[in-house]
Structure 1
Amino acid sequence: MISIRYTSNLFLRAFCIVYLSAFLSFYYQIPGLYGDNGVLPASSVLENSKHKTLSAKIHYQPTLLWLAPYLGLSTSYALDVLALLGAFLAFTGFISQKFCIIPVFTALWSLYFSIYQVGQVFVSSSFDDFLLEAGFLAIFVAPFLPNRKKTSKGSGVDAISLWMVRWLLFRYLLTSGVAKLLSGCPKWWTLTAFNHHFETMPLPSPLSWYSHHLPSWILRLTAVYANVCELALPFTFLLPVRHIRITAFVFQLFLQTCIVLTGNYDFVNLLTVTLLLSLLDDKFFYGSKKADSNWGVVGHVANAALFAAISYAALRLYSIKLDGGVVDAHIAFSKGQFNEFAGQALVYTLHLGLVSLAGTVLYGLSRVLFGNEHGNKFFNVVKTLFYALVALTVFFSSTVPLASLHPASNATVHPTLRTAYNRLHKTRIVNQYGLFAKVTGVDGRPEIVLEGADGLDGPWKEYNFLYKPGNVNHSLPFVAPYSPKLDWQMYWAAYSTYDKQPWLLSLVHRLLTGRPEVLNLIDQAHSPFAAKPPKYIRAVLYKYKFTAWSHRSQPAWWVREKVSEYFPAYTKDSPALVDFLKARNLLPASTRQTVNPIWKQVLDSVRYVSDHLEATLLFWSVFTAGLAIIATSSPRRN
């Protein structure tokens, strides 16, 4: 029996780091995004409820924020409390295994879900859904109490809980790969997606410019590698051969590392790597001095044979060949062939998942019945069956979004499963994925540039954001795992119209009135309006492209071309702006909520300290402090 207790513990502590980054990201942005004078006040979400009783309110909008009045807090201060409490619990789990237990992870999920409920458009990407679904599964990976028996190899429920994690990882990666090809995007089908990807991603990193200028044949092979990692390798997660899963882990880890270096995708890559730990076991970390058993030799042979087959299939399906000293590749199958294959393969995939789960449950029960597990055998059997029931519920519900990728497989889904999925999806326990299925902005990434002036004749001066492209001479920083929700949403707004983005005009109104909470979310160091806000603000749509490789010695990272006016100039009293915001309850209003003075003093003091730190520095400071505590508390070996 392979030990997996250390792997489970490592998974939980890594997950605490993910939670830490997510809660600190939220906390830093609460005043500017969700405060009473923020872009989308959280209080306005709760005020929309017409329910009188607490239970009815929670049913309408399940969030712990409803308890704020009973604690002497306003909604914005209650958000601070939830985010700080979540960060504290995540920090304790990060520095000590004793806190990686079910009550703590249940609290972490509940706190993040409560904040998510008022996140509005700033949590509209699938990243927060991904965290909540994974966070729910982490509850079942965690023990109820700290395990004092350090020699424990893990129980049958560990195998089942880690299978649920692998199934989520399987769905997340496979959905991303299938959605790319089913979308019919010509850039993915011609393997030229990465010729545009680094330039058009939401928040490029400093290495994005260099990656964009890699030789075209390397970028084509990168597209092939990404396809294989998302379309083929996820199936190896479900196989019962540890050597195969370890090899898949290495390939996937390399892909995630490259993504982290070349782009800023919040905490999602850190979360993905954390989920990848479920593919490993304790032997991977501790090693073994014993020679491989016969089963170990079989595993090595199976591993070599499988990945040789995958490599051969990739060479044939992508027509990879050496042509004049350059590696060439192109997809050797048609869209129609893939569409027909995907419809059938998704059905078989669901059956494969069920078989894998059944085998895992039987393995877990065998460990309980015939292994050397501690505790009452009857209780352990009941516990294992309960975890199996949870796994079956999650599995059957998750078949709905997976099957929905193709009409043929979608037609096989029973209505009962759709009902179960809809109910679980409301609490984000099971979700649909498949972001960035199409490559957009191939003729230049659209960017909204806000300009201010004291007169309609100008001069117009630009607002700079902290993390998104703006000034063509400014290099972009590494941001992840911090989640800059305002910069991220500006990317999506550029593909829409301003009348469909009420938060954007709300942002403009806050800038016109000089709200310090909102100004803290943009680049004040290079702001031409640091002394006082402008009288007018307008938005201009540009298209940005990376500068050519021949210009690498010049300061400019981007070249841009003006496309059109995005929205006209507004003043803070413009009737069109005021009426627009008033109709959507987005005008700043003096809060009637009272705050206990002790709460206010304590929370304002913490906020004062955090406001004097750059957002990414806040996370790395806390993370470094955690590492220092771990280092000083670890027992020294003579």
Structure 2
Amino acid sequence: MLVFPREFFLICICSVYALAFASIRTQVRGLYGENGIEPVDVYLRSVKLNYAPESHDASTFAWIPAWRTAGPLTLLWIFYLSIVKCGQTFMQFQWDSFLLEVGVLALLLAPWWHRSNTDEIFETPAAAVWTLRFLFFKFMLMSGAVKIQSRCPTWLELTALDFHFATQSLPLPLSWYALQAPPIINRLAVAVTLLIEGPWTLFLIAPHPTLRRIGAIQQIALQISILLTGNYNFFNLLTIILAAALLDSDSGATDCDIDPTSSQRVSWISRVESAWHTFQTHRLVMKASAASVWVFTSSVVTLSVLDQSFQQSLPSFVISTYYSTEKYRITSAYGLFRTMTGVGTVQLGNGQHVSVVARPEIILEGTKDGGLTWKAYHFKYKPDDRSVARTPRGQTPGSSHDVKRLLDTIRDPFPDSPPHAIRAQLYYYDFTRLNTSWNQALPTAKILDNSSDPQWWTRTFVRKYLPALERENPSLTAFVEHHWPSSVSKLSPETSEVSASELRQWINQVLEWLCSEPWSPVGLAELRESRKCHHCGQSGHLRRDCPDDSGPSEDKCYQCGETGHWARNCPGAKA
């Protein structure tokens, strides 16, 4: 009998769902509201107007008090999938896909109904448990493999942590202190990380529970170290939960409650007992075989991205099965921190080039006096803001659409009237350094004086990122109206069965505990084939497959701000 901490696992998964929804709630208005960066009503309206027959709607559901059963977990998974699909750019983090994939496996582990008898024991399905273990193995193995396959010099030379602590999205106070450690310590930590995410991942699927416990302890230690030095929302907690679920035991066949020393034992009982053990052994073999088939078919396509030749050799039905379920995010490929972002180079006096921390940050500035005085806009979670409460989905607005909204908005640093013009400047940020011998050897480091006030960051101006745009500029207004139509218009009754007001009312009734303002990020997104190409506006293909698109030479990558490539191919983007 396989012993698995199912109740503990399901309670933790429900808690992670709660954290995920809470994180989205605090940012939903700024990202997806009527005046947000990517208004979800505009997105849903475009789907319903053009592809109403192919769009998906989530069914109305009522509150179910019995948690940790398949019903509520299914609803949680459907709703979070809806948010991820409608969230567009800001819901494409790997931990979102990871939670959805774990959520599917939680459905296989959860009971179908609430049992009032808590003493009743039910055996956990072996196939579901081993699939969960293999998911964890796949996630960690791919995270380690891509670091080597990317040929990133920082990983190959064990210098990744010389940049990671300052260039990650949301550093914590301990990140500053971790960067002050001697280089040998950080290099040793990188080597251990590559071992834990590489060959040591085999411990996670080892047949013996003791080996799995060793693997679990290693992964928990790694995740705690990441958790203390960086904010990655619920990612670390979810990974720790999967590792803790490995701390189980396989007791094998259940022994018969017969005292071997009893004088009442007779030969026919011994024969029955032997036959029963043989039957139990065959059952275990059958379970292991079924679990192996399930594990292989569920993750083989996503795992095969590590080897293109193996991926091309897969049977066509395996590939077609994967693509038929891709829109539901049942299984995904992963690759955390494929390369280090924010790595710059400086040339020394002897002509040698040295890598330095160069965290790119876009600073928006506004003026009301014709450009004589420029005041910076302050955004949460930027390097100058010490308070880091949760992972933001979006940071500084950087598109013409966002600038136009700021030009029409009264907010800090212009609380009385909107600015006359707004521009964007690109800076490279770095942590300040303590006065140590290894920090003094860094060519661009700002060494702190012991008597000075504490300072977290230092920055260097790079270039203008966006020229000054004036509020009365007719070209800017026309451009924004063309690409982002007004979100106040309602859905026409001819093209939609549900109006926008009814949709918002339904969301408020179902999720009153989650939101304080009306919002509507519901409904599954359209099929992959029904999406519009961002280049030509036609359906049936994505931009990367557009026959009329000459490539990304004219567009800027939203990850690094450079031209010549898209974000999915950005060499400096953290996965």
Aligned length: 457
Please list, as runs of the form range in 1=range in 2, the aligned pairs for 1:17-36 lying within 5 A after superposition: 17-36=15-34
Number of the residue aligned with 1:457: 371
| Offset from partner CA, 1:381-424 (integer Å, 9 cap, x none) | 9xx89x958x7456324211211212343333222222222222
Q: Does 1:11 align with 2:5?
A: no
Measured after TM superposition, the shift of residue 589 of structure 1 is: 3.1
Q: Does 1:187 align with 2:150?
A: no
Measured after TM superposition, the shift of residue 179 of structure 1 is: 0.2
> What is the distance in 1 between the residues matched to 2:127 and 2:42?
42
Q: Give SS of 1:467's match.
A: coil
> What is the distance in 2 between the residues matched to 1:8 and 1:153?
11
Measured after TM superposition, the shift of residue 180 of structure 1 is: 0.3
Q: Does 1:578 align with 2:477?
A: yes
Number of the residue aligned with 2:56: 62
Contact 1:8 1:142 survives alignment (8 Å): yes
> What is the distance in 1 between the residues matched to 2:321 and 2:343?
40
Contact 1:155 1:368 survives alignment (8 Å): no
Number of the residue aligned with 1:483: 391
Number of the residue aligned with 1:557: 456
One-letter amino acid matched to 2:55 = Q
Please list, as runs of the form range in 1=range in 2, the aligned pairs for 1:335-354 lying within 5 A after superposition: none
> What is the distance in 1 between the residues matched to 2:401 and 2:225?
36
| Offset from partner CA, 1:242-295 (integer Å, 9 cap, x none) | 1111121111111101111101112111111122232122799xxxxxxxxxxx
* % identical aligned pairs: 33
Q: Give SS of 2:165's match.
A: helix
> What is the distance in 1 between the residues matched to 2:505 and 2:49?
30
Q: Give SS of 2:27's match.
A: helix
Q: Which one of 79, 89, 92 corresponds to residue 111 of structure 1?
A: 79
Q: Does 1:263 align with 2:230?
A: yes
Q: Which one of 429, 438, 460 corresponds to residue 339 of structure 2?
A: 438
Contact 2:25 2:515 survives alignment (8 Å): no
Number of the residue aligned with 1:505: 400
Q: Give SS of 1:537's match.
A: strand
- Change in Cα spacing, 1:591 to 1:210, as seen in structure 2 (3 Å) is farther
**Structure 1: gaps of 5 or more residues:** 72-81, 93-97, 285-362, 372-380, 499-503, 520-526, 612-638
| Offset from partner CA, 1:442-470 (integer Å, 9 cap, x none) | 2211001111111332311111221121x
Number of the residue aligned with 2:570: none
Contact 2:146 2:338 survives alignment (8 Å): yes
Q: Which one of 295, 298, 313 corresponds to residue 412 of structure 1?
A: 313
Number of the residue aligned with 1:376: none
Measured after TM superposition, the shift of residue 178 of structure 1 is: 0.3
| Offset from partner CA, 1:282-330 (integer Å, 9 cap, x none) | 799xxxxxxxxxxxxxxxxxxxxxxxxxxxxxxxxxxxxxxxxxxxxxx
Q: Give SS of 1:236's match.
A: helix
One-letter amino acid matched to 2:425 = V
Contact 1:397 1:420 survives alignment (8 Å): no
Contact 1:506 1:587 survives alignment (8 Å): no
For the aligned residue pairs, the C-alpha RMSD in angstroms reads 3.4
One-letter amino acid matched to 1:455 = D
Q: Give SS of 1:431's match.
A: coil
- Change in Cα spacing, 1:63 to 1:468, as seen in structure 2 (3 Å) is farther
Q: Does 1:547 align with 2:541?
A: no
Measured after TM superposition, the shift of residue 26 of structure 1 is: 1.9
Contact 2:508 2:515 survives alignment (8 Å): no
> What is the distance in 2 between the residues matched to 1:575 and 1:393?
59
One-letter amino acid matched to 1:62 = H
> What is the distance in 1 between the residues matched to 2:115 and 2:191?
44
Larger gyration radius, structure 1 or structure 2 = 2
> What is the distance in 1 between the residues matched to 2:281 and 2:475?
68
- Change in Cα spacing, 1:133 to 1:411, as seen in structure 2 (3 Å) is same
One-letter amino acid matched to 1:486 = G
One-letter amino acid matched to 2:310 = S
- Change in Cα spacing, 1:588 to 1:237, as seen in structure 2 (3 Å) is same
- Change in Cα spacing, 1:568 to 1:588, as seen in structure 2 (3 Å) is farther
Number of the residue aligned with 1:40: 38
Which has more helix, going by share of residues?
A: 1
TM-score between both structures, scaled by the size of structure 2: 0.72
Measured after TM superposition, the shift of residue 224 of structure 1 is: 0.9
> What is the distance in 2 between the residues matched to 1:437 and 1:191?
14
Q: Which one of 162, 169, 189 corresponds to residue 136 of structure 2?
A: 169
Q: Give SS of 1:434's match.
A: coil
Measured after TM superposition, the shift of residue 210 of structure 1 is: 0.7
Contact 1:155 1:367 survives alignment (8 Å): no
One-letter amino acid matched to 2:376 = E
Measured after TM superposition, the shift of residue 177 of structure 1 is: 0.3
Contact 2:109 2:124 survives alignment (8 Å): no
- Change in Cα spacing, 1:214 to 1:573, as seen in structure 2 (3 Å) is same
- Change in Cα spacing, 1:22 to 1:63, as seen in structure 2 (3 Å) is farther
One-letter amino acid matched to 1:459 = T
One-letter amino acid matched to 1:448 = I
One-letter amino acid matched to 2:107 = I
- Change in Cα spacing, 1:426 to 1:602, as seen in structure 2 (3 Å) is closer
Measured after TM superposition, the shift of residue 577 of structure 1 is: 2.7
Q: Does 1:528 align with 2:382?
A: no
Q: Give SS of 2:458's match.
A: strand
TM-score between both structures, scaled by the size of structure 1: 0.65
> What is the distance in 1 between the residues matched to 2:453 and 2:504?
54
Number of the residue aligned with 1:324: none
**Structure 2: gaps of 5 or more residues:** 252-276, 345-357, 436-447, 492-499, 519-575
| Offset from partner CA, 1:63-104 (integer Å, 9 cap, x none) | 42xx7xxx9xxxxxxxxxx9xx8xx87xx6xxxxx4100001
Number of the residue aligned with 2:382: 468
Number of the residue aligned with 2:300: 399
| Offset from partner CA, 1:593-629 (integer Å, 9 cap, x none) | 4359987997999789689xxxxxxxxxxxxxxxxxx
Contact 2:217 2:243 survives alignment (8 Å): no
Number of the residue aligned with 2:102: 134
One-letter amino acid matched to 1:109 = W
> What is the distance in 1 between the residues matched to 2:327 and 2:488?
31
- Change in Cα spacing, 1:408 to 1:602, as seen in structure 2 (3 Å) is closer
- Change in Cα spacing, 1:600 to 1:435, as seen in structure 2 (3 Å) is closer
| Offset from partner CA, 1:164-183 (integer Å, 9 cap, x none) | 11111111110010000010
Contact 1:165 1:278 survives alignment (8 Å): no
Measured after TM superposition, the shift of residue 11 of structure 1 is: 0.6
> What is the distance in 2 between the residues matched to 1:464 and 1:414?
53
One-letter amino acid matched to 1:117 = K
> What is the distance in 2 between the residues matched to 1:234 and 1:370?
24
Q: Give SS of 1:48's match.
A: helix
> What is the distance in 1 between the residues matched to 2:368 and 2:509?
39
Contact 1:207 1:261 survives alignment (8 Å): yes
Q: Does 1:424 align with 2:424?
A: no
Contact 1:180 1:437 survives alignment (8 Å): yes
Number of the residue aligned with 1:538: 423
Measured after TM superposition, the shift of residue 506 of structure 1 is: 2.6
> What is the distance in 1 between the residues matched to 2:506 and 2:319?
44
Contact 1:3 1:153 survives alignment (8 Å): no
Number of the residue aligned with 2:188: 221
